[in-house]
Structure 1
Amino acid sequence: MGQNATLEGDSAVIVSLSEAAMHMYSAAIDALPFPEDKKFHKRADVVLSGLRKLRASLTEAASSNRPSPAVIVALSGVRQRYDSLMAHAAAAPGSSLGQQIYVTRIHAKLSAQEVANGAGLRDGLLDELEAGATPTDDEAAKIRETIAALGGLPGDDHGIHAVPTPADFDAPEESDVNGWDPVLVSENAG
């Protein structure tokens, strides 16, 4: 019984520290300048670095012999906030390839290792790029090809804008509510 109480106490401390850290990171995220601001990426990178450290600590705690729903809930919250900030940073002008490939692979539901293997990149490179490393020209080309192959950056229309179809003013105005065709719907349906 004493051992179990100690493990629960450890989990409570871990979660409390995580919540305190997330409170500070959330305040820092809320205080970020607009994405077009020159200082945006520098400040976002500091927060992302801290979130990566917190995520790593919570991942370790969640995989230890300390089973705790509170730890995995905290880990989930950190991952969601991290992913959200990475998506915001990747969509901002001047985003890094590391941010772009991270958001693209997360959207595609692929791990860093799966993408690296599929793109012919060395193990660990994507994690390094996510943390701010600079790829070689060859690596950068492979990453750009991979981003394109996976459909591009989520939310980016790649300059292709849908052209609205002009209204047909000669067509009769639809008089049926909700688009129901009365011929297809009988009174005794059901």
Structure 2
Amino acid sequence: MNTTQKFYLKLAEPCRENWFLPPQDPLGELSHFDMELRRFCFEHNQKVLLEIGDEKQELFLDPDIILILDEIPEKIDDLYRGKKNELDFPESRMIIYLEPRKEYWRIGCTWRKYGYSIEEKSFELETKQLFQTLKTFVKKILTQAVDKGYIQDREKTEFMKRMVKPSVG
């Protein structure tokens, strides 16, 4: 494959359905930031459009994105260091496997949908575009959470600092 595909994560319209119970932390193990971010994603749930090449999938802030949100900085860091990683969306029955290539500017991507059968597609992504898309997407979520009073701006800033890496490409 000689060309790279685009990777997009976009916030879409609000989701009015509540399939799950509100987030709880009965043992008090979550930080204020983690708990409030979960509350925000539950109370202000939105559809999220994931696109890779010609493939599209509708996800939701709750439960799909909130399950991986806190791990995104580490996932970017691992990929930057040449380690394989994945974005797992169990509620939507799909996994996106990411594997850095020898050419530092590319990442191999395998999109696997599972259920009654397994469907799989492979893509080549541009590293810089993937990282920028993930960072921008996370920033939008955190900005909305700050604007609606769930988390503080300083918490958003601290989280975003974890996503600052040297530029690639």
Query: TM-score scaled by structure 2?
Result: 0.35
More strand by share: 2
RCO higher in structure (CA 8 A, sep ≥6): 2
Query: TM-score scaled by structure 1?
Result: 0.32
